[in-house]
């Protein structure tokens, strides 16, 4: 093999090894349930990112009612059953001007 073919072979092996190390997929594992007094039970998830410890994540938890063209109402009504906080909920529309 000539020099160029050797270089391309080594480059292919190197890129394969680097891609396995750098691009680690995010893995999700079910998290324990937590109880929020006065509201209910929330089910979250663990996020494992970049070969570090698992991170507890509770996603998409409402902090107020999104009332149209009015200030938010922070008095939330308790939910029934278990609130699924393993995925993000739809965003609340906001004005771009303060």
In the predicted model, is pLDDT for residue 65 greater than 80? no
Question: In terms of pLDDT, which residue wins out, 40 or 52?
Answer: 40
Tell me how far apart the alpha carbons of residues 57 and 26 are, in angstroms, rounded to a whole number. Answer: 13
In the predicted model, is pLDDT for residue 26 greater than 60? no
Question: In terms of pLDDT, which residue wins out, 29 or 12?
Answer: 12
Number of CB atoms found within 10 A of residue 52's CB = 8
- Strands, E assignment, 7-88: 27-36, 40-48, 55-57, 82-84
Across the range 20-45, mean pLDDT stands at: 72
Across the range 19-23, mean pLDDT stands at: 57
Percent of the chain with pLDDT over 70: 69
């Amino acid at each position: 093999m000539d020099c160029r073919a050797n270089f391309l072979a080594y480059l292919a092996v190197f890129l394969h090894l680097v891609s396995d190390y750098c691009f680690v997929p995010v893995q999700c594992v079910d998290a324990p349930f937590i109880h929020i007094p006065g509201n209910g039970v929330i089910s979250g998830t663990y996020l494992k990112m970049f070969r570090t410890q698992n991170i507890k994540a509770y996603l998409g938890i409402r902090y107020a009612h999104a009332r149209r063209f009015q200030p938010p109402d922070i008095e939330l009504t308790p939910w029934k059953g278990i609130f699924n906080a393993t995925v993000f909920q739809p965003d609340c529309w906001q004005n771009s001007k303060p």
